[in-house]
Amino acid sequence: MKYGWKKAAGMALAMLAITGMACAEGDTPLLTMADGLFDTSQPDTLGLAPAPGAETFTVFAPGEGENHYNHGAVPIMFKGQLYVQWQSSARDEDAPDTAVVYSASADMKHWPAPTVMAPARAGTLVTSGGWWTDGETLVAFINVWPGWEEGLREGYAEYITSTDGVRWSAPKRVLGADGTPVPGVIEQDPHLMATGRIIGAFHTSPGLVATPYYTDDLLAISGWTRGKMENLPSDSPTSRELEPSLFKRPDGAVVMIFRDQASSFMTLASVSHDDGVTWSRPALSPFPDARTKQSAGNLPDGTVYRVGNPNAHKARFPLVLSLSADGQHFTRAFLLRAGGADMQPMLKGGKYKRPSYSYPKSTVSGGWLYVAYATNKEDVEVTRVRVSALTQ
């Protein structure tokens, strides 16, 4: 499917007008981009040049008899090694045999076989919840979904900790500021603010409602407080906003971006001016998104980046890195992985598997931007780019 850029932009602006979803800061959307940034007549590359010096490494590619469904990859640097966590099952997405696993490498070239950190549980689905670290302790979050097999789509977050990346504590519940468990699963993308505050999101119960949260606990395992944000109307127990990521703007504001479950194929965004306590009502911005998870953040000089699949349709390729100096207008973009010949073939089928670079998550460390993702929901891969190559 091909879409001309001007047509896509026109459709986006028309949708904004129809829905009346103006940004809380005026008529200007929270996210805009340079005219012609993506050439949709070239679906495999969007007309983009490869990111300078980008390197791709395979963390796990299943062989015969190994799990051929792998997804939800999340990276973090801890004590000189890059750790990647993901969820894994024999064939299908969200299957009863799903476990959460990880691998770690110091040189990016040699990755040991995955280690199970959360085994499959009878009658309960477990999925990857991401990482946090204060530099001395590594925290792994595990999302737990009781009643999944009966159709219940809500759950809670647990955590385990390690000081060496090998030996792990017993799982405990993630706690709110009142000392009780947070009523929701954690999104894989918490961010540290200059104030020392950690801002992230949970999908809260009842249902699955994307909700900003913040904590001043340096390990991010307790003290979580719900931010104030009015979700958009939804006819489902699942909120229209899903799977957020966030970044800081040079003016100090924090912008949270969401997948739009209403299939606008644009980006929903909300802004906070008080370190995550209150948020504007999410509004559409005409930045294309393939209705999928993305990853955003800041490079060391403050440059805002966003990694995702910027399509006005469901194709989860190519994988693209977009950059903005002010956190609003994106003027540069690079190709991390192209569709077509650059994408290895999928070896085995399975529920919800298709050609894709799915659910990227990222971390910045030691002068590199690392992006982890699942190719075809089968292979776990990491692409890295030198920060200096992006800020010249």
Residue 303 binned pLDDT confidence (cut-offs 50, 70, 90): very high
Is residue 327 predicted with pLDDT exceeding 80? yes
Is residue 7 predicted with pLDDT exceeding 50? no
d(CA 208, CA 205): 6
Q: Name the amino acid, one letter, at 3.
A: Y
DSSP class of residue 202 equals E
- Mean pLDDT in residue range 286-294: 97
Residue 149 binned pLDDT confidence (cut-offs 50, 70, 90): confident
d(CA 87, CA 137): 22
- Min mean pLDDT across 11-15, 205-209, 323-327, 372-376 is at 11-15
Is residue 178 predicted with pLDDT exceeding 90? yes
> What is the structure's pLDDT at 25?
54
pLDDT digits (tens, 9 = 90+) for 179-200: 999 999 999 999 999 999 999 9
> What is the structure's pLDDT at 127?
98
pLDDT digits (tens, 9 = 90+) for 235-252: 999 999 999 999 999 999
Asked if residue 368 lies in contact with residue 56, where contact means CB atoms within 8 angstroms, the answer is: no
Residue 214 binned pLDDT confidence (cut-offs 50, 70, 90): very high
Q: Which of 322, 318, 301 is nearest to 387 (CA)?
A: 301
Q: Count other C-beta atoms under 10 Å from residue 137's C-beta.
A: 16
Tell me the pairing of strands 329-337 and 32-33: parallel
> What is the structure's pLDDT at 281?
98
> What is the structure's pLDDT at 28?
84
Rounded percentage of the chain residues whose pLDDT exceeds 70: 93
d(CA 384, CA 54): 6
14 vs 177, residue with greater confidence: 177
Strand ranges (DSSP E) for 205-291? 209-215, 225-226, 241-248, 254-260, 267-272, 283-285
DSSP class of residue 206 equals T
Place of tokens 């407080």: 225
Ordered by start, the domain boundaries in the chain are: 5-390
Dihedral, CA of residue 268, residue 273, residue 276 and residue 280, to nearest 10: -40
Is residue 139 predicted with pLDDT exceeding 60? yes
List the CATH code of the domain at 5-390: 2.120.10.10
Is residue 15 predicted with pLDDT exceeding 80? no
Is residue 19 predicted with pLDDT exceeding 70? no
d(CA 244, CA 306): 12
Asked if residue 345 lies in contact with residue 20, where contact means CB atoms within 8 angstroms, the answer is: no
d(CA 125, CA 6): 43
Mean pLDDT estimate for the chain = 94
